[in-house]
Structure formats: structure tokens, C-alpha cells
Structure 1
Amino acid sequence: MVTRTLLGRSHAHLNLIETLSRIACTDVEVLISGPTGVGKELYARYVHDKSNRAAFDFVPVNCGAIPQELLENELFGHSDGAYTSARASQEGLVAEAENGTLFLDEVDALPLPNQVKLLRFIQQKEYRRLGDSRIRTANIRFVAATNASLQSLVEQGRFRSDLYYRLCVFPVDVPPLKSRTEDVPLLIDEYSAQYSEEYQLPRIVLSPGALQAMLDHAWPGNVCELENCVKYLTCLQLTRPVDKYDLPMLAKSVLTGEIIDADLLSKPFTSARTHLVAEFEKRYVLEALRKSNGNVSRAAAESGEYRKKIDRLIKKHSIRSDKDAMGELQPVRDGDTETGDAL
């Protein structure tokens, strides 16, 4: 797994980094809130890396993925014979995080009975492995994260108020990517370099229109969505700069009639219509070829058009080179454009 660095130049990001740097050297409990995909774990790791515990492990715990009955075993471990299939002693995640940081991700997903167990452990820093009588003491720091409002959950009776106040000693809110667009170009460059190296493919080049579209996009999936977008564009292997309608979040809009934006409306009617039709043709043929796994005859049959017309559109929009570069379809052999079936 590639080690990721926190990048950003927006005031929100820089202020957050400054705040976390100040409290990292303490052992204060930190609660990181923010929508899905903003990188809460990265900020938690930043706190750990800047702390006196950096030489020890940062151990993430996905609270939403642990069944209610397995929480104690996952956190505290068990001794030999603690239950039927426990044939050997096993340390838990708490022991793994000793002297380091235990990161409680999605802490809002914990059932109420498990909240009680977690609260007791955080308060006393003591625990027992299942089937063991010896009480152990943990020397760890707690950092928690949530994409929900814990205060609202407390008011609804779904989250214990005492656990909330225990975790929320130092609250931190990570804003969504749409409110810090200055960070988008830096993230694009970072992920482009990362996946170019990882996949051994050329780095993407964005057209001005594509970059502006990415700056204007609301990014409901936040940094995670942007990362996936760059990964997609890298694998696309276009032999030209990325156009705005190559972006995965805009590609479907060509087929749903949502591409009429201010740029098009500012053009002469004939020019705008020509552009719109060309984009529709290109995206429609690409989608038809994707569904047919590159079989041109099948793509033509399923679209209700003659094979020659599909061939003409493939040539008109230079789809062959784009699709060859994507690696999704088989390369065109000599004569295939006119007589063969596979791109």
C-alpha cells in the first residue's frame, strides 16, 4: 500500500494541520468528524506521526465491521481454551497498539452494549483477555472518527453521552472537499504521479475544460472520489489531454441530457448543437463497444444501426486509439475496421 501524504493549501486544511500539530504531543483524546471520504484516517495518522508515540504502532479499528459479540475478542484477545475454537492464546488490537495509538474509526456504528465496554476500557485503561484472570494495563492513545453527528445520536439515545464526552475531549472537524477547492489541483498531481508509477502508465494531462470541471464538481465522495477519478483517467490511457466529458462523473451526463451548461449556451446555436451531437455520438459508441467487449458487429446490432455507420463513427471520433490505449478492448488488426468484429 502506498503511503499517502496529507496535501493541501486551502486555509481550512492549513488551519487543521496547525491545530493537530499543537495537540499531537499530548495524549488528549481526539474526535475527528467529517463526511465519508475526506481522509479522517490520514489526519489521525498525522496526529500519531507528530506525537511522542510515533515510533510505535498506529492501529486502526473499524468499529462498524466488528460483530457485536466479537468486540472484546478483537480488542483484548483471548487465552488458550477461552472458547471452543480458541486453541491458542492470541493478543488483541489493544496489545498491538501498546505505546502507540488506537484509532477507532466509525465509532458511531458501535452498538450500545459495546459502547459500555469501550467506555470502561477508555476510563480505566485496563482490560482482560477472554478466558484470562489477569488484568492488563494499556498505555495507548485514543483517536476516534465519525461521519455522523455524535451529539445528535446522543439526543436520539443511540450513543452514550458519557462515551461521547470521553472521546470528544478535543473535537476536530474535517471540511468536505467542495469547500476547499484550492486543494484539488494538488491532489490531482499527487494521485496522478502515484498511479502513473504504480500502474507503469503515463501521467494524465488535463485540458483546461477538464480541470475547470473538476474544480467545479461538488465531490460528494470527497477525496476518495477524486482519487478514484484520477485512477480511472490513468487507466484510460488517452493519447490526448483529458476532456471534461472523459471525466467519469460527467460521462453519463452526455447520455442523460445534462451536458447543456453555460459554456454551450454561450456559443452560437449551430456550433453548440454540433458539439452536443458529436459528444453524444462519441460516448454512445464507446458505451456500446464497452458493453459488447469490443465486438463492433454486436455493438451495431444492439444499437440498431448498420455496421458501416458504427465504423464511420469510430473513425470520425478516433475511438480506436482511445480504446486501444485503455486496454479494455482487443487491438484492431489489419482490415478489422471494415471486416473484423473486434476493436
Structure 2
Amino acid sequence: MITILGRSRVHARLLALVAAAANTDAEVLIQGPSGVGKELYARLIHEQSARAPHPFIPVNCGALPPELFENELFGHVGGAFTGARSRNRGLVAEAEHGTLFLDEIDALPLANQVKLLRLIQEKEYRPLGDSRLHRSDVRIVAATNADLLAETQAGNFRFDLFFRLRVLPIEVPALRERPEDIQPLLEHFLQHYAAEYGRAPVSFSPEAMERLLTYSWPGNVREVENCARFLLCTRAGTRVEVEHLPLLTELPGGRGRVEAQRQARESFQAAKRRVVEAFEKAWVEESLVEHEGNIAAAARASGKHRRAFFELMRRHGLKARSR
């Protein structure tokens, strides 16, 4: 049974959202930074739902080659392509009556997003080489550490798929935003790995414990787990002082070096977004002028669907004008 530890109000709110999600079959979108345990929340939703006796199938979309998406998810019949000698059921069929967990959903190319959208909307799919559609009874839970709304605005993720997935949104904040959860997580991992490694427990000086509780934990829960494992490997049966902690160097103001680098990357991303938006606006304006305000022709020439092109116009406040 999955257990997610915490003492904060945020933790209590997340568990309430999980319980509410488990009582329905609606799609769930879990968003949060890397290392917060998004798959654990997905598994907990599955375990608390009526689908618990059936499979929970995780799929890392970021590790799935685009050209293999259909085959991996929908399977194929024998002879569908060279080398396909026997039938492959695919992950959707493997998850039948259970839950299909799509991690790193933002990594799916637009072409494959269309195929996933059909599965969600119509509850049906066609294996490669098959002449008939198959009905599907799976619960879709997706997760991402990206700002998916920003990805839709940048044209990298479909608006319709975003809102299909975001029926029940669950935002899992970074650990630094819920410091009350640090100690129970650390204690849990120390006990777990002391038993697994057969090592004596560690104790902490007041200064070391204070340092652990005020550290920003840029790696989130995963970094807490790694810290516990490190200490049990190197300091088992001893008292841990501040200098023994495997934490990243802090900068003035309490932020770690990694945190400062993260903020610098965000500043870069913000600048990049401004440049991209300026380019998009100029490109759309020029296309409309070139095609004398004909949106369909401008969209075709730009290699975009008419709806996506119109959305770019709307976003940048543009209207079709003749020369």
C-alpha cells in the first residue's frame, strides 16, 4: 500500500484531492517540479479507486521514441510491418480496467498528442495493421514538471489535449514550500534504509537538524531520500554534525547554488519566450499580409493547422487585414 508522509496543510490538501480523484474515472493531471513524487500520487489514486485490482501501467513519454508511440501504446497485429510476426497487445490493452500513467506528458510530439486525444475522447484505438477499432476502459493519469499552459501557448502542446487531461488538476509544490514535511520524510527514509542496509541508525546534533530543516532541498523528496542513504552508508551508528551533511553549498539569503542556477535558467527562459513571441507575431503578420488576409492560406503556408494559426493571431491581438 502506498503511503505518502507529511504534516503540512499542503500535504493534507493533496491527500484530500487524491481521495476525491479516486472516487471518479475522470482524467487527472499532476504537475510539480522534479523529485516531488508525482508517480506516487498517481499510484495512490489508483490504489484508492475501484480500479485497484487491475493493472497500473506507467509510461515515460520522454523515453518513448516518437515513431514507436502507436506500437507501444496500441500494439499491432501479426504482419503489420516487417518483423511483426505475432500480435502485440500494447500498453493500453495491458492497462485494461486499470490506470495508464503517462509521465512527462509534455514530451509527446504534436502528432502523437492527436492520437492520445482520440483515445481519451472516443475511448477507442486501432492497433497497427488492424482493420477494426478496439474499445478501451482505462483511467488516464498524466504528469509533468513543465508549465503545460505555457507549452500550449508556445504551440508545443495542444490546447484541447491540455483541457482533456486537466479535468482534475493536482499541483504538488516543491518541498521548500512545505517545510513541515521535511522531518517525517527524513525519519521515514532513515528507518527504511537502516533496515534495508542492515546499518545502525544515526543521530543528529541540534545544529545539523536545524540545517536539515532550513535547507531549501532543490532536489525535493528525492534529495531527502538520497541524503538518508548517504548518511547510513557513511555515518551509521554515529552522531551527524553539520559538516557531515551531503547538502549543496548555500548562498547568502538561504538559497542553494542549484536554486540560484534554477532562477537564472528561468530568467533565460523568460527572455527566450519574449524573443519567440516577437518572432511569432512578426511571422503571423507577414503571412497575413502576403496572403491578403486569407487565414486558411496563411496557415497552410506556415505549416500550421488553421485553428493553431488563428490561436496565434488571437494571442498576439492580430486581425486579418487586406493589403
Q: What interval of TM-score do these two structures reach, taking the shorter chain for normalisation?
A: 0.7 to 0.9
The answer to whether the 8 Å contact 2:201/2:237 transfers is: no
Question: Aligned with 1:227: secondary structure?
Answer: helix
Q: TM-score, normalised by structure 1?
A: 0.71
In the TM superposition, 1:30-69 aligns within 5 A as: 30-69=28-67
In the TM superposition, 1:21-36 aligns within 5 A as: 21-36=19-34
- Provide the alpha-carbon RMSD of the alignment: 1.8
Cα drift, residue 87 of structure 1: 2.2
Q: What's 2:16 paired with?
A: 18
* Equivalent-residue separation in structure 1 for 2:124 and 2:237 (angstroms): 59
Q: What's 2:185 paired with?
A: 187
In the TM superposition, what whole-angstrom CA distance separates every residue of 1:90-135 from its partner, at most 9, and x where no partner exists?
Answer: 2111111100111111101111111111111111111122122232
Q: What's 2:138 paired with?
A: 140
The answer to whether the 8 Å contact 1:30/1:142 transfers is: yes
The answer to whether the 8 Å contact 2:199/2:237 transfers is: no
Q: What's 1:82 paired with?
A: 80
Q: What's 1:247 paired with?
A: 245
Q: What's 2:276 paired with?
A: none
* Equivalent-residue separation in structure 1 for 2:102 and 2:227 (angstroms): 28
Amino acid corresponding to residue 3 of structure 2 in structure 1 = T
Cα drift, residue 237 of structure 1: 3.5
In the TM superposition, what whole-angstrom CA distance separates every residue of 1:311-339 from its partner, at most 9, and x where no partner exists?
Answer: xxxxxxxxxxxxxxxxxxxxxxxxxxxxx
In the TM superposition, 1:1-343 aligns within 5 A as: 5-250=3-248, 253=249
* Equivalent-residue separation in structure 2 for 1:109 and 1:181 (angstroms): 30
The answer to whether the 8 Å contact 2:190/2:201 transfers is: yes
The answer to whether the 8 Å contact 1:201/1:237 transfers is: no
User: Which deviates more, 200-209 or 180-189?
Assistant: 200-209
Residue 239 and residue 46 in structure 1: after superposition, are their counterparts in 2 closer, same or farther (change >3 A)?
closer
The answer to whether the 8 Å contact 1:78/1:129 transfers is: yes
* Equivalent-residue separation in structure 2 for 1:179 and 1:115 (angstroms): 32
Instruction: State the structure with more CA Rg.
Output: 1
Cα drift, residue 31 of structure 1: 0.6
Amino acid corresponding to residue 40 of structure 2 in structure 1 = L
Residue 261 and residue 38 in structure 1: after superposition, are their counterparts in 2 closer, same or farther (change >3 A)?
closer
Residue 125 and residue 236 in structure 1: after superposition, are their counterparts in 2 closer, same or farther (change >3 A)?
same
The answer to whether the 8 Å contact 2:61/2:107 transfers is: yes
Cα drift, residue 59 of structure 1: 0.8
Segments of 4+ moved more than 3 angstroms: 258-262
Q: What's 1:320 paired with?
A: none
Residue 65 and residue 259 in structure 1: after superposition, are their counterparts in 2 closer, same or farther (change >3 A)?
closer
In the alignment, structure 2 segments of 5+ residues that lack a partner are 255-323
* Equivalent-residue separation in structure 1 for 2:252 and 2:49 (angstroms): 51
Cα drift, residue 35 of structure 1: 0.5
In the TM superposition, what whole-angstrom CA distance separates every residue of 1:8-43 from its partner, at most 9, and x where no partner exists?
Answer: 110001011012212311111111110000011111
* Equivalent-residue separation in structure 1 for 2:50 and 2:93 (angstroms): 18
* Equivalent-residue separation in structure 2 for 1:11 and 1:259 (angstroms): 28
Q: What's 2:274 paired with?
A: none
* Equivalent-residue separation in structure 2 for 1:204 and 1:132 (angstroms): 59
Amino acid corresponding to residue 150 of structure 2 in structure 1 = S
* Equivalent-residue separation in structure 2 for 1:105 and 1:171 (angstroms): 14
The answer to whether the 8 Å contact 1:102/1:143 transfers is: yes
The answer to whether the 8 Å contact 2:78/2:87 transfers is: yes
The number of residues matched between the two structures is 254
User: Which deviates more, 60-69 or 86-95?
Assistant: 86-95
